[in-house]
């Protein structure tokens, strides 16, 4: 692949995760979106504005003092025999007092201005972080499985969006506003002193702005490409960390390093090209600024030479220094535009998350006093966001208070059914009812409060064992935690640990973490239980213990179990056999086995893999 194609790929990756989801952000759109996060801090804004005005006035003091000082000293020198050190010392003393006093005031203003500006930036950053977390928690599962929303890319969009937007707030009040306020005041003073000099200064400014505008347009596409590259790099690093054991077991460190190096090289090429363009435009703008200074000097000197009213030698220095204040924001304009362009690019992805209304998890309002757990699926079709067809015309009845097993080879659609019953996804066709009411009408939170879910690999949070178990019921007592741990056959192992239930759950083995997840379900005590390979990571003895506990909690509840362990599904009341997303068989285990077909094949294969004959012989002849 050529370098050009590689760079195009990075660009398309960036676009896939931002531009396809949102419209391009404009400066007005950026300000409109960020304003609600600034308004709560009106007091800080007001104080910052007052300090900005005071600081801008202080920035003009040097020019005014120099103007008066030069003329006074020149007049003193010009008086024949009139020079006296007393008068000179008096002038220098006044200049020193004014300039030093001005520096003290400016230092105080700068300190408080930057302090309040940084305070505002931190508070806005906090609010943006909280808002995006709250928003992401409301999204449906389909959002997270859509291409471009992988964990690394999503994290990059959020982190860089918050950083860039909060910096924009800081830069506006601490950099942009003071600079432009000072420039406007300086320009006004130049016009008040001499209209012609003011016009020269005013003519240079729009030319400089135009060059900067062209620069911004040229570089914006490159910034999008770099943004996409950052996401690709972040996702690549995350993939390496998550699969480090697989990488090392296959000795593929070199391959992964080369893959990451390729991404980094593409990023480096983009960044170098961006810097090259930036430096070219910056050189042109610096040249324009110097032309403005030269024109001011020539014009003011000419006006002094022709003895133009109000012009003096002091006015030459006066106008040169004021023009320096006028051009100060111009000198910073390229950096301000760079920061603003970054904010525009990152804001597209960030506010795309906050404003993605179609991604919000749907919910109903139905909240019955009692949930029986009687599910009915009618002609259900479902395809994942990536385009994978998972279920086709699936119909089944899951009766309240009974155990229903879903059987099939990997990829048959068993877990997808559980995901639909828990409203993680919405079917594209057919209907799902719970206790006679369409699942779409159920309040989603209410529904999930009555469902216990144990997966093959459950997430353990960064916290203590007790905190992880209480995740199933935050109101549970320590005694409830102990009871749940005993039910999951975890208690004896926990009390042997130095810190007991205060031990970090991340320090537990995989099997112990699975018991924590099962204890979490016990403490929730729901009327509906979904078990997706609940004992897949446990040893034989632990599996038997957990099976006994699950058998106890299953009584009187609606249970759906997915397992490749025939011993866990053979005592089910009802089984459904799925193949390629379709229901192929249904009935009680004995009936379905006698029908032959896939279930019998799976059952017989499991028996042979366990060497059941040899096991039976060993047991009968101890």
Asked if the model's pLDDT at residue 16 lies above 50, the reply is no
Proportion of the chain above pLDDT 90, given as a percent: 18
DSSP 243-254: THHHHHHTT-HH
Q: Do residues 459 and 453 touch, judged by C-beta distance below 8 A? A: no
- Residue 220's pLDDT band (cuts 50, 70, 90): low
- For the record, the structure tokens of 176 come out as 């942009």
What pLDDT was estimated at residue 374? 93
Handedness of CA 132, 137, 140, 145 (dihedral sign): positive
Mean pLDDT of the region 201-207: 83
Asked if the model's pLDDT at residue 423 lies above 70, the reply is yes
What pLDDT was estimated at residue 6? 37
DSSP 278-347: HHHHHHHHHHHHHHHHHHHHHHHHHHHHTT-TT--HHHHHHHHHHHHHHHHHHHHHHHHHHHHHHHHHHH
Name which residue leads in pLDDT, 364 or 565.
Answer: 364
Asked if the model's pLDDT at residue 212 lies above 90, the reply is no
Q: Give me the phi and psi of 548, to 5 degrees please.
A: -65, -40
What pLDDT was estimated at residue 310? 80
Asked if the model's pLDDT at residue 430 lies above 90, the reply is yes
What pLDDT was estimated at residue 79? 64
- Euclidean distance between CA atoms 475 and 596, whole angstroms: 49
DSSP 161-187: HHHHHHHHHHHIIIIIHHHHHHHHHHH
Q: What domains can be seen in the chain, in order of their start residue?
A: 3-358 (1.20.1560.10), 375-448+558-622 (3.40.50.300)
- Residue 618's pLDDT band (cuts 50, 70, 90): low
Asked if the model's pLDDT at residue 489 lies above 70, the reply is yes
- DSSP-H helix ranges across 488-530: 491-495, 510-524
**Whole-number mean pLDDT of the chain?**
82
What pLDDT was estimated at residue 612? 63
Cα–Cα distances in angstroms (integers) from residue 28 to residues 18, 127, 181, in the given order: 19, 21, 20
Q: Do residues 338 and 215 touch, judged by C-beta distance below 8 A? A: no
Closest alpha carbon to 321 in 304, 302, 296: 296
- Euclidean distance between CA atoms 416 and 399, whole angstroms: 19
What pLDDT was estimated at residue 622? 62
What is the H or E stretch that residue 559 is in?
A: strand 558-562
């Amino acid at each position: 692949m050529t370098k050009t194609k590689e760079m195009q790929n990075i660009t398309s990756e960036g676009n896939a995760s931002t531009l396809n989801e949102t419209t391009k952000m404009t400066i007005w759109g950026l300000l409109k979106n960020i304003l609600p996060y600034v308004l709560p801090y009106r007091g800080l804004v007001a104080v910052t504005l007052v300090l900005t005005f005071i600081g801008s006035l202080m920035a003009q003091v040097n020019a005014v003092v120099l103007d008066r000082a030069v003329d006074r000293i020149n007049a003193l020198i010009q008086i024949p025999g009139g020079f006296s050190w007393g008068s000179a010392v008096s002038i220098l003393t006044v200049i020193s007092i004014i300039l030093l006093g001005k520096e003290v005031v400016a230092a105080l203003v700068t300190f408080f201005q930057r302090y309040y500006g940084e305070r505002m930036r931190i508070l806005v950053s906090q609010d943006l972080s909280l808002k995006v977390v709250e928003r992401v928690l409301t999204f449906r599962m389909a959002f997270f499985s859509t291409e471009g929303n992988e964990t690394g890319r999503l994290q990059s969009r959020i982190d860089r969006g918050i950083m860039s937007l909060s910096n924009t707030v800081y830069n506006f009040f601490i950099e942009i506003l003071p600079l432009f306020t000072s420039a406007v005041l300086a320009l006004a003073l130049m016009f008040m002193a001499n209209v012609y000099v003011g016009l020269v200064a005013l003519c240079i400014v729009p030319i400089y702005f135009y060059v900067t505008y062209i620069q911004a347009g040229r570089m914006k596409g490159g910034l999008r490409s770099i943004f996409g590259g950052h996401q690709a790099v972040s996702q690549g690093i995350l993939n390496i960390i998550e699969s480090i054991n697989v990488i090392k077991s296959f000795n593929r460190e070199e391959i992964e390093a080369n893959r990451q190096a390729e991404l980094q090289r593409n990023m480096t090429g983009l960044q170098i090209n961006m810097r090259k363009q930036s430096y070219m435009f910056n050189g042109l703008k610096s040249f324009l600024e110097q032309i403005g200074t030269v024109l001011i000097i020539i014009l003011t000197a000419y006006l002094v030479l022709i003895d133009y009213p109000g012009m003096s030698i002091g006015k030459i220095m006066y106008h040169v220094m004021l023009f320096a204040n006028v051009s100060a924001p111009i000198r910073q304009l390229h950096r301000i535009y760079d920061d603003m362009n970054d904010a525009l690019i990152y804001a597209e992805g960030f506010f795309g998350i906050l404003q993605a209304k179609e991604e919000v998890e749907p919910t109903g309002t139905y909240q019955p006093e009692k949930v029986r757990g009687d599910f009915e699926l009618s002609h259900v079709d479902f395809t994942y966001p990536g385009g994978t067809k998972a279920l086709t015309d699936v119909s089944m009845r899951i009766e309240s208070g009974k155990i229903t097993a879903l059987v099939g080879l990997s990829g048959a659609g068993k877990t997808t059914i559980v995901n639909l019953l828990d409203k993680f996804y919405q079917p594209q066709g057919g209907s799902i009812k719970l206790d006679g009411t369409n699942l779409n009408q159920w309040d989603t939170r209410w529904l999930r409060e009555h469902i216990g879910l144990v997966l093959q690999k459950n997430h353990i949070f960064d916290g203590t064992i007790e905190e992880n178990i209480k995740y199933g019921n935050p109101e549970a007592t320590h005694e409830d935690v102990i009871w749940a741990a005993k039910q999951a056959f975890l208690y004896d192992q926990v009390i042997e640990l130095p810190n007991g239930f205060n031990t970090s759950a991340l320090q537990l083995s995989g099997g112990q973490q699975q018991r924590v997840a099962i204890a979490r379900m016990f403490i929730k005590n729901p009327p509906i239980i979904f078990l997706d390979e609940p004992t897949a990571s446990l040893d034989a003895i632990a599996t038997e213990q957990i099976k006994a506990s699950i058998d106890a909690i299953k009584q009187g509840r609606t249970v759906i179990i997915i397992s490749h362990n025939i011993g866990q599904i053979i005592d089910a009341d009802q089984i459904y056999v799925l193949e390629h997303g379709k229901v192929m068989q249904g009935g009680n285990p004995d009936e379905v086995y006698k029908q032959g077909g896939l279930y019998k094949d799976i059952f017989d294969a499991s028996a042979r893999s366990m060497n059941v004959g040899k096991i039976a012989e060993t047991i009968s002849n101890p």
